[in-house]
């Protein structure tokens, strides 16, 4: 197989390619047109591009073929779509670019789009966000649903897109750069609680897969593997990818939030105190 | 970018919700009027369609065998265990049917090893497993296309010094009804009685 075969999609999805092109197009044009002082630095642009690229790579290159016929590669795919890619995108803080485009939307459109904003607010309630984040992992890994999702092309695409979009929502809620003391973003304590709960719930599932003696996901057995790997090894590796990296990412997320909380501790309250003092 | 994302997400979320709702409303997972032994795959896969050559070297398509219940199976003639066992089981299942029903079922054996499996070799092989079986093969891209359509794959091992190599392939039997709609996915560990039960139910469904 030539290099091109590895880079071209296994299962070409025009909608997916178009979505990624639009995202990168809007991001790039936004960067070029926005005022210099708002523009994110090189590292942030790199993080955003890398996040988008790895998500694209696992959906629209040869990687997707292996993800369809190997359980552990499939778990790796979801690790990128639901965790690593969205984490990079959220940490890159694309807010200035989004704000730039938001200001370009006409007031009429803003009014019609308002219900979407409400819907977004509902989805970003910490409990709902946690439920969606962990619930989707459990849902798609429920053995009978997983079997169907791997057999049906439509369900497979719904699965991967739902993981990616939910990953973006969740990690944006967690890594929202706006300080909660002065904006409506979620407080650091709650963010850490949500991360801890998500970590523990994913560890349960991962541990269950790792320590299962039977074949839980036999669809790869029935439909043939990409190469002859021992089914138990495949399941063990897949279980470990569900178990360890997500738990580590929860902990890293908590540490990051602690750092931010300590950094900002007293910053805004002192300011308001100073304001009070000067006022009196 | 934002709105694009939102619209996309809305679509997916509503699709997911519809999916969950329909799973709940239809009395949940896998409950069906008929008590199938195979796994019900109605609606999960596209209808039977292919573009291959038969064991006489003629090109054939899915329509050439329509009107019968069809069992699609991927394999290769040098296969040491999975294929002969499965084909023998299918033969036993169909030959145990009422003679009137026997012609209503057809097994389609697709060899994914076109390098070694010439039409002649394929003809000899399938004849051994009864009358209602057709051997099919094609060029590798045609076979890849069909395998992809049914969400399966195959691969070749490195050949040994004698030039023999193993081929990994799906072990499942895909069952299509008379109209060519995908209906059941049978795992090879089903007994011939269980397979026969499902076949009879499918044959009698609309005759």
A63 occurs within a structural domain? yes
B103 and B134 fall within a common domain: yes
pLDDT at B21: 61
Give this complex's ipTM.
0.80
> Are the beta carbons of B62 and B56 closer than 8 angstroms?
no
Give the per-residue pLDDT at A3.
87
Residues of A in contact with B185 (CB under 8 A): 151, 222
In a domain, A270, yes or no: no
pLDDT at B206 > cutoff 80 = no
* Contacts of B187 by beta carbon, 8 Å cutoff, 6+ apart: A218, A222, B38, B39, B171, B172
Inform me whether the pLDDT recorded for B25 exceeds 60: no
Is residue A20 less than 8 Å (CB to CB) from chain B? no
**What tokens appear for B179 in the block?**
């109209």
B172's CB contacts (< 8 A; 6+ apart) are A222, A223, B73, B152, B185, B186, B187, B188
Structural domain count, chain A: 1
pLDDT digits (tens, 9 = 90+) for B137-148: 999 999 999 999
Helix (H) or strand (E) holding B60: strand B59-61
Beta-sheet pairing, B133-137 with B105-111: parallel
**pLDDT reported for residue B12:** 56
Are B52 and B97 found together in one domain? yes
- Residue B15's pLDDT is 62
A15 to chain B: closest CA residue? B8
Q: Does B32 touch chain A (CB under 8 A)?
A: no
Report residue B160 as tokens: 């040994």
| B1 and B75 co-located in one domain | no
Q: Per the domain annotation, does A222 fall within a domain?
A: yes
**pLDDT by 10-residue block (mean), chain A, 280 residues:** 88 95 97 93 97 97 95 97 97 95 92 93 95 97 94 95 97 94 91 96 96 89 82 93 95 95 79 58
Residues 6+ apart with CB under 8 A from B105: B68, B69, B70, B71, B94, B97, B132, B199, B203
Q: Are residues B15 and B99 in the same domain?
A: no
Interface test with A, best of B4, B16, B172 (most A CBs within 10 A): B16
Q: Are residues B10 and B86 in the same domain?
A: no
Give yes or no: residues B58 and B138 share one domain. Answer: yes
Q: Is the dihedral of CA B173, B176, B181, B186 positive or negative?
A: negative
Within-domain flag for A117: yes
In a domain, A275, yes or no: no
> What backbone phi and psi angles, to 5 degrees, belong to B204?
-80, -10
Name the strand (E) or helix (H) holding B100. helix B99-102
For residue B27, what pLDDT band results from cuts at 50, 70 and 90? very low
Q: What is the helix, strand, coil percentage profile of chain B, to 5?
A: 40, 20, 40
Which residues span the domain enclosing B25? 1-31
* Number of alpha carbons in the 13 Å side-chain half-sphere of residue A123: 22
- Residue B116 to residues A225, B76, B119: CA-CA distances in angstroms? 22, 9, 10
Q: In this structure, is residue A274 part of a structural domain?
A: no
pLDDT tens per residue, range B184-198: 999 988 998 999 999
Q: Are residues B25 and B45 in the same domain?
A: no
Average pLDDT in the B60-88 region? 91
Backbone phi and psi for residue A228, each to the nearest 5 degrees, phi listed first: -70, 85
What share of chain B has pLDDT > 90, as a percent?
58
B22 Cβ under 8 Å from any chain A Cβ: no
pLDDT, mean of residues B99-111: 92
Query: How far apart (Å, rounded) are the C-alpha atoms in residues A124 and A130?
Result: 9
- Pairwise CB contact (< 8 Å): B3 & A162: no
Q: Directed axis angle between helix A42-60 and helix A71-79, to 10°?
A: 150
Q: How many structural domains does chain B have?
A: 2
Q: Identify all chain B residues contacting A151, using CB atoms and an 8 Å cutoff.
A: 41, 44-45, 151, 185
Specify if A3 maps to a domain: no
- In this complex, is the C-beta atom of A118 within 8 Å of any C-beta atom belonging to chain B? no
pLDDT reading at B24 higher than 90: no
Which residue range(s) make up the domain with A113?
Answer: 8-264
Residues B6 and B52 in one domain: no
Residues B158 and B172 both lie in one domain: yes
Question: What strand order describes the sheet that includes B39-40?
Answer: B39-40, B182-186, B173-176, B69-75, B105-111, B133-137, B51-54, B59-61
Looking at the structure, tell me whether residues B6 and B87 fall in a common domain. no
Residues B122 and B169 in one domain: yes
Distance, CA of A164 to CA of B80 (rounded, Å): 42
Q: Mark whether B143 and B181 lie in a shared domain.
A: yes
Q: How far is A235 from chain B (nearest CA, A)?
A: 18
CATH of the domain at B68: 3.40.30.10
Mean pLDDT of B108-116: 94
Position A228 scores a pLDDT of 77
């Amino acid at each position: 197989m030539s290099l091109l075969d590895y880079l071209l999609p296994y299962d070409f999805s025009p909608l997916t390619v178009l979505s990624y092109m639009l995202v990168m197009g809007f991001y790039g044009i936004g960067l070029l047109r926005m005022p210099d002082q708002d523009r994110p630095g090189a590292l942030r642009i790199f993080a955003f591009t890398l996040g988008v690229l790895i998500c694209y790579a696992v959906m629209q290159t040869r990687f997707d073929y292996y993800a369809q016929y190997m359980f552990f590669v499939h778990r790796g795919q979801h690790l990128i779509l639901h965790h690593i890619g969205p984490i990079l995108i959220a940490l890159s803080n694309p807010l200035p670019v989004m704000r730039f485009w938001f200001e370009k939307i006409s007031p009429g459109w803003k009014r019609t789009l308002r219900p979407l904003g409400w819907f977004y607010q509902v989805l970003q309630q910490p409990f709902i966000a946690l439920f969606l984040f962990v619930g989707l992992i459990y849902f798609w890994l429920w053995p009978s649903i997983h079997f169907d999702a791997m057999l049906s092309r439509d369900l497979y695409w719904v699965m991967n897109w739902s993981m990616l979009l939910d990953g973006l929502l969740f990690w944006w809620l967690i890594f929202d750069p706006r300080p909660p003391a002065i904006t409506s973003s979620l407080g650091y304590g709650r963010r850490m609680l949500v991360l801890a709960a998500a970590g523990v719930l994913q560890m349960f599932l991962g541990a269950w897969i790792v320590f299962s003696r039977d074949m839980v996901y036999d669809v790869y057995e029935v439909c043939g593997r990409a190469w002859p790997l021992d089914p138990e090894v495949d399941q063990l590796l897949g279980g470990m990818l569900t178990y360890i990296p997500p738990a580590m990412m929860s902990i890293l997320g908590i540490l990051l939030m602690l750092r931010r909380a300590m950094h900002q501790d007293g910053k805004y309250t002192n300011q308001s105190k100073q304001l009070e003092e000067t006022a009196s | 970018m934002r709105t694009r994302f939102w619209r996309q997400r809305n679509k997916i979320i509503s699709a997911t919700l519809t999916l969950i709702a329909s799973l709940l409303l239809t009395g949940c997972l896998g409950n069906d009027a008929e008590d199938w032994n195979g796994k019900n795959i109605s609606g999960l896969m596209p209808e039977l369609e292919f573009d291959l050559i038969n064991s006489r070297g003629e090109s054939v398509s899915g329509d050439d065998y329509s009107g019968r219940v069809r069992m699609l199976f991927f394999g290769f003639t040098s296969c040491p265990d999975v294929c002969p066992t499965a084909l023998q089981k299918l033969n036993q299942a169909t030959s145990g049917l009422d003679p009137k029903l026997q012609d209503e079922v057809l097994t389609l054996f697709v060899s994914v090893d076109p390098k070694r499996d010439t039409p002649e070799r394929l003809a000899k092989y399938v004849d051994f497993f009864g009358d209602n079986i057709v051997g099919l093969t094609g060029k590798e891209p045609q076979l890849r296309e069909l395998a992809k359509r049914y969400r399966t794959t195959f691969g070749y091992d490195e050949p040994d010094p004698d030039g023999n190599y193993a081929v990994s392939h799906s072990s499942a039997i895909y069952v299509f009804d008379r109209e060519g709609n995908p209906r059941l996915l049978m795992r090879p560990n089903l007994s011939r009685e269980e397979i026969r039960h499902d076949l009879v139910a499918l044959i009698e469904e609309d005759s």
